[in-house]
Structure 1
Amino acid sequence: MELIHRNLLIGIHDALQETFFEDRKYADKVIERLLKAHKKWGSEDRKVVASIFYDIVRWKKRLEYYIGESAKPSNIYRMIVAYCLWSKTHYKKMEELEGVKIADILTKLKKGTVPSKAFEHSIPDWLVETMERELGKSWEDEMYALNEQAPTVLRANSLKTTPKALIEELRAENVESFLVADYPDAVELEEKKNVFITSAFKDGLFEVQDASSQLIGKLLDVKEGMRVVDACAGAGGKTLHLAALMQNKGQIIALDIYGWKLTELKRRAKRAGAHNIEARLIDDNKTIKRLHGTADRLLIDAPCSGLGVLKRNPDSKWKIDQAFIDRIKIEQQQILTDYCKIIKIGGKMLYATCSILPSENTKQVQTFLKNNPDYSLLKEEKIMPSQGYDGFYMALIERKA
């Protein structure tokens, strides 16, 4: 049995409290703050804390079954104990934790079964219904995959290096990695490491970007000298990839409704040496109208449920519901309708989501094409989590003459 020390357990407890009960903060931000606040923890301790924290977030509903009630602040220690027993991670004074008694948990563990699919896959009841309705018999295969830990994949910044050279740079800093077949810029870590403290990161040699996400820039088929609009740029992960594919030649206009995300994009672009990006805040409809008919390529990385990336964002399944998905589908269709006019006649746009639900993907594109006959579908790609990396959907659409 692995041994977890009390001070680490207290850190995990506090992080779970923040994630589930204190403003429902994003898990990645919570763990980042926790690790920064405990600089004296060694690398192995930090790895244990992050791993257990994410596992408990991921398996929350199953752990609720083992403790006999739903999560609440007073139950967090009981959930940690249930996780320790289930995963054979040992805390030698479990009974001292808030008076936790382990006999009932052990009884349920010995049964080896749980009463429903929602408990088995540790997802809300509504999500079982949604996944089964939209994906049919394959939904459980995808849930098994989504409950695995995500690999860490980097995108070598071709403005500054190559994947092979990046592997050597990282090896010099005690980070082992390898090339990923069929993903020309991808490098995968052999084990999770804090790559953000490396000189390679500070020098802008890479960005952390899942292999599936890297296919988006490739499918959009950008060329040097083009005018490209990234309509939902966020903090710019895909924008930076487009800049690298264009070798800094041409123009990329990065749009978003959040100024703080564009500020982060500018900071990342400077580190990456991407000089052909102009960030613009969408503060009214005129921002979009001024761009009508001006772009050779348009990327719409649309807001979505995020169900394709639960491997790396397991907390999101506890923070959305069916009503949220219904609202986001209306927003997706509105964005497609409003932004499609940005491309020139003969130009191409890529509609992408990190969802695996057809109602957010293929059906949205079908509805758009039905209402806009002067656009046609050129190519469609569906990447499922069971294939190994994040789940993504991409549809390349042309504006016809």
Structure 2
Amino acid sequence: MAGNPDRGMENRGIVLDILSEVLDKGSFVHLVLNQALQKYQYLDKSDRAFITRVTEGTLEYLLQIDHIINKYSRTKTDKMKPLIRNLLRMSVYQILYMDRVPDSAVCNEAVKLAVKRRFTGLKGFVNGVLRTISREKASLVFDSPSLAYSIPQWMYDMWEKEYGSAKAEMIAASFLEDRPTWVRCNLSRALREAILKSLDSQGVMVKELDCLPSVLAISGYDYMEGLECFQNGWIQVQDATSAFVGELADPKEGDYIIDVCAAPGGKSLHLADKMKGTGMVEARDLSYQKTALIEENVARSGAANIKAVVWDALVPDEDAREKADIVIADLPCSGLGIIGKKPDIKYNMTMDKMRELSRLQRDILSVVWQYVKPGGTLVYSTCTIDPMENEGNAMWLSENFPLEPVDLSGRLGEDFDEPSLKDGRIQFLPGIHPFDGFFISVFRRV
């Protein structure tokens, strides 16, 4: 770690605090990490990159790391002081996966941090465990893909059953790979060429998508808020799979659209952009906190044909019945498709929670389909790869309500011409497709 020698311990202290907040208090890693990076924005880019990598890496490999610690420590992780447990976890990640940081430095910094946090009596324990793991790391062997990819066994077994061994391993491996940030260009605000030129002027690396010209994969930037394009409302952070929702919804100018669980507003803004300032998108969500996120993005984008509304999707809105040309129902889900971005999901999700979410989705869908006018469109989507929440609920919709699947063949270009598109749906799988996991189904009200 270059620069001030105290920076190394200070950076590790920040990581330790983030991990304690996530692992011991149940906070969401993406929120806690973002808050920390904003708080310490004065740090060098390399320092913030270190904090991000060690935080995310420790969480990505948590099951594997605990397995290793338990192999070489007489005191098992579940019996340790929480701070010492997290200190060992983040240090083991550095020893195993960060070649640029010497193992001796990792051990020394961990001991110093233990002393600084008033665990002087455990500095010998911390040092002994870490130096043993450092000596033995070349001989480590993981006897199951679940352990190798740090995925709970029940979850890996489920993927094997649903998708086969080869795809299950590709899915699990993909969650440990580096991924770019996807952004969508607000083409009603700026020409694509101007956006590309602006990004290039700030040294941002850009990868373009043939099937989605308005979507870019960007990397190599310092922080999003520092990009001219973001400040000007020319780009919106939105995963490519999420942008497919707007493409398949296919709004016409002048449409009235209701997005029932819209925060932070990416899909709503995309639809507003596609209507070129005409019509209206009503972006609803459960609380003022959530609609505030929508309003913040709307203000930055400058879109005039969108409004944020606080509304519980489970509560019927009689005034909206049969009024909407399009209803977007991107609903709360298990999130198994975005584990690569939110690794804490895999440790907090259970089969019981997935069943509860599937029931919640049906409860919401049974209300909001009624807002679609005859001949109008309902789009149901999730960011999971769980068939119960996805194909299961899509089939339930067409069996129980006057909704028929829309043939989507050829709508996503040659690269994504899946057979299921004929039946009105597509499941994107991480590792098989170059995106997060995501499910989209499209219906027409009969």
TM-score bin, normalised by smaller chain: over 0.9
Q: Note the C-alpha offset of 1:320.
A: 2.0
Deviates more, 1:278-287 or 1:86-95: 278-287
Q: Note the C-alpha offset of 1:107.
A: 5.5
CA contact (8 A) 2:330 2:381 kept: yes
Q: Which of 184, 206, 220 is the equivalent residue of 1:191? A: 220
Equivalence for 2:445: 399
1:327-346 matches, within 5 Å, as: 327-346=356-375
Identity of aligned residues (%): 24
Paired residue type of 1:193: D
Q: Which of 357, 381, 398 is the equivalent residue of 2:426? A: 381
Unpaired runs of at least 5, structure 2: 71-75, 115-122, 407-423
| Residues 299, 39 of structure 1: alpha-carbon distance in 2 compared, 3 angstrom cutoff | closer
Q: Deviations for 1:266-319, whole angstroms, at most 9, x for unmatched residues?
A: 121121011111222225866522211001111110111111111111122222
Equivalence for 1:15: 18
Structure 1 CA distance for aligned equivalents of residues 90 and 284 of structure 2: 42
Paired residue type of 1:110: A
Equivalence for 1:127: 155
3-state SS, counterpart of residue 359 of structure 1: coil
CA contact (8 A) 2:405 2:444 kept: yes
Structure 2 CA distance for aligned equivalents of residues 286 and 115 of structure 1: 49
Q: Note the C-alpha offset of 1:349.
A: 0.8
Q: Is 1:148 matched with 2:177?
A: yes
Structure 2 CA distance for aligned equivalents of residues 361 and 44 of structure 1: 40
Q: Is 1:90 matched with 2:102?
A: yes
Q: Which of 150, 155, 167 is the equivalent residue of 2:196? A: 167
Q: Is 1:62 matched with 2:107?
A: no
Structure 2 CA distance for aligned equivalents of residues 48 and 363 of structure 1: 42
Structure 1 CA distance for aligned equivalents of residues 136 and 163 of structure 2: 31
Q: Is 1:49 matched with 2:94?
A: no
Structure 2 CA distance for aligned equivalents of residues 121 and 344 of structure 1: 46
Equivalence for 2:39: 37
Q: Deviations for 1:323-361, whole angstroms, at most 9, x for unmatched residues?
A: 111100001111111111110111111110111111111
> Which segments of structure 1 move beyond 6 Å, counting only runs of 4 or more?
1-4
Q: Which of 233, 258, 281 is the equivalent residue of 2:287? A: 258
Please report the TM-score for the alignment, with normalisation by the length of structure 1.
0.93
| Residues 287, 275 of structure 1: alpha-carbon distance in 2 compared, 3 angstrom cutoff | farther
Q: Which of 76, 91, 99 is the equivalent residue of 1:81? A: 91
- Greater relative contact order, per chain length (Cα 8 Å cut-off, separation 6+): 1
Q: Is 1:361 matched with 2:374?
A: no
Q: Deviations for 1:140-168, whole angstroms, at most 9, x for unmatched residues?
A: 21111122222111111112113332111
Deviates more, 1:318-327 or 1:300-309: 318-327
Structure 2 CA distance for aligned equivalents of residues 224 and 65 of structure 1: 56
| Residues 179, 283 of structure 1: alpha-carbon distance in 2 compared, 3 angstrom cutoff | closer
Q: Which of 308, 330, 336 is the equivalent residue of 1:279? A: 308
1:222-241 matches, within 5 Å, as: 222-241=251-270
Equivalence for 2:28: 26
CA contact (8 A) 1:248 1:275 kept: yes
Please report the TM-score for the alignment, with normalisation by the length of structure 2.
0.84
3-state SS, counterpart of residue 224 of structure 1: coil
Structure 1 CA distance for aligned equivalents of residues 313 and 8 of structure 2: 53
3-state SS, counterpart of residue 358 of structure 1: coil
CA contact (8 A) 1:121 1:147 kept: yes
CA contact (8 A) 2:91 2:106 kept: no
Q: Note the C-alpha offset of 1:60.
A: 0.7
CA contact (8 A) 1:163 1:187 kept: no
Unpaired runs of at least 5, structure 1: none
CA contact (8 A) 1:159 1:273 kept: no
Q: Deviations for 1:338-393, whole angstroms, at most 9, x for unmatched residues?
A: 11111011111111011111111111111221122x21111212211111111111
| Residues 198, 190 of structure 1: alpha-carbon distance in 2 compared, 3 angstrom cutoff | closer
Paired residue type of 2:444: E
